[in-house]
Structure 1
C-alpha cells in the first residue's frame, strides 16, 4: 500500500510557546522600527526574555522573522490591490499600488534591501511575501497593459525590483522626502506604451 505524501497540519503551540512567539514578534517589530532590519537577533531574544535558541526554534533565520513580522503589512497591500482591481483607470490603480509598496518597503530601514535579495531566492522565507505580492501586482499590471498604458514587455518581477530600489534610494536620502515619488514617476514614464492614448504626455503616471 502506497504511503501518503500529504503533510500533517502543524501542531498547535503550547501556551508557553505561543507567549514566547508573540513576545519575540513584538520585540522584533519594535527593534526593526528603531534600529532597522539588521538589528541583532540576540538583542531581540534578550528583550523578549528568552534565549537565542528559543528564537531560532520559532524563526530559523532572519528572513523567517522578517516574514512573520510583515505578514500584517502584506495583508494590507494585498487588500489594497483587490480594492484597486476594478478601478476605471488601470494605470492610476497600478501607480497607487506601487506607491503603497514603496511606502511599505520604506517603513523599516533595511527592508527594501532584504526584499530585493529575496525576490530571486525561492528558498528564502521572505519568498512567502514575494509570491503573493507578485500575483497581486501582476493583475494590476496586466490591466494597465490591456488598456494600452504600459508596455507589454514589462514584468511584475522587474517592476517590484524597481520599486524596492526606489525605496532603498529614498531610505539613503532622508533629507529628500520627495525623492521616492520623483523616481517612481520617472520609472512609470519609461513604462509607457508607445501608442498609449490615455496618457500621451506622461505614460502611466496618474
Structure 2
C-alpha cells in the first residue's frame, strides 16, 4: 500500500494491451488489418527508440508499406500516436479504477500520477503532445487525454473530500503539472530521483502551506 509521501508510492508499469480502433465501423480486410497492425508495431518501436517526432516515412518503410497506406489508416501523426498509446492509456484508466476505493485517497492520487510519468517518459515527446491536446480536438491524442482527465478528476475529488488536497486544485492544472514533470524527467535521464522530488514538491503544493 502506498503512503501519503509522493516520493514513496510504488507502482508497476501499465501492461500494454492491443490498441483499440474506435473509429472503425466496418471490419477491415485481412490484408488491411495486417498492414494496420504492422504500422502500429513499427510506430511503437520507433517512438520508443527515437521519440514521437520520428519520420512517418521511416515507419511506413519499416512496416513494409507505402506512406499512402499509412495515411489511409492514420490521417496524421496525432492519429497514429493516439492509436499507439491507446493500450497504455486503457491500462492507466484501469489502474485509476483500482485506486478508486483506496483507504488513503491522496496516496492513491499520487500513485496514479507516478504511473502517468512512468508511461509518458517511455516515449520521448509524448508528454509534450499530451500537454497540447485539447478536449475539443478530434485527434487520437484528445481521445487519450480526455478520459485520463476524467479518471484523474475522480481521484482528485476523492482526495479533496478527504481534506488531503486543497479545494481550489483542478484536474486540468494537475495533469499539466504531471506532464511537465514527465517532460523534465525526459530531459534529465541521468537523474533517476527527479520525478520523486518534483512529485514531493507538487504534493506539498496540493496540500497547501499549512499542511
> Which whole-Å CA distance do the structure 2 matches of 1:118 and 1:97 have between them?
20
User: Are the equivalent residues in 2 in contact too, given 1:81–1:97 (CA < 8 A)?
Assistant: yes
Report Cα offsets for 1:64-100 as digits up to 9, x if no partner: 0111101111111011101100011001100100000
Residue in structure 1 matched with residue 73 of structure 2 by the alignment: 58
> Which whole-Å CA distance do the structure 2 matches of 1:48 and 1:120 have between them?
31
CA RMSD of aligned residues (A): 1.5
Q: How does 1:176-187 map to 2 (within 5 A)?
A: 176-187=191-202
User: Are the equivalent residues in 2 in contact too, given 1:166–1:180 (CA < 8 A)?
Assistant: yes
> Which whole-Å CA distance do the structure 1 matches of 2:75 and 2:180 have between them?
27
Q: How does 1:39-54 map to 2 (within 5 A)?
A: 39-54=54-69
3-state SS of the aligned residue for 1:70? helix
Deviation of 1:121 after TM superposition, in Å, equals 5.6
Q: Does 1:75 align with 2:90?
A: yes
State which structure, 1 or 2, has the greater radius of gyration over its C-alpha atoms.
1
Q: Higher RCO, 1 or 2 (CA under 8 Å, sep at least 6)?
A: 2
Change (3 A) 1:9 1:98: closer
Change (3 A) 1:10 1:23: same
Q: How many residues align?
A: 189
Residue in structure 1 matched with residue 145 of structure 2 by the alignment: 130
Residue in structure 2 matched with residue 95 of structure 1 by the alignment: 110
User: Are the equivalent residues in 1 in contact too, given 2:82–2:139 (CA < 8 A)?
Assistant: no
Residue in structure 2 matched with residue 143 of structure 1 by the alignment: 158
User: Are the equivalent residues in 1 in contact too, given 2:120–2:179 (CA < 8 A)?
Assistant: yes
User: Are the equivalent residues in 1 in contact too, given 2:39–2:70 (CA < 8 A)?
Assistant: yes
Residue in structure 1 matched with residue 17 of structure 2 by the alignment: none
Change (3 A) 1:190 1:104: same
Residue in structure 1 matched with residue 185 of structure 2 by the alignment: 170
3-state SS of the aligned residue for 2:207? coil
3-state SS of the aligned residue for 1:191? helix
Q: TM-score, normalised to structure 1's length?
A: 0.88
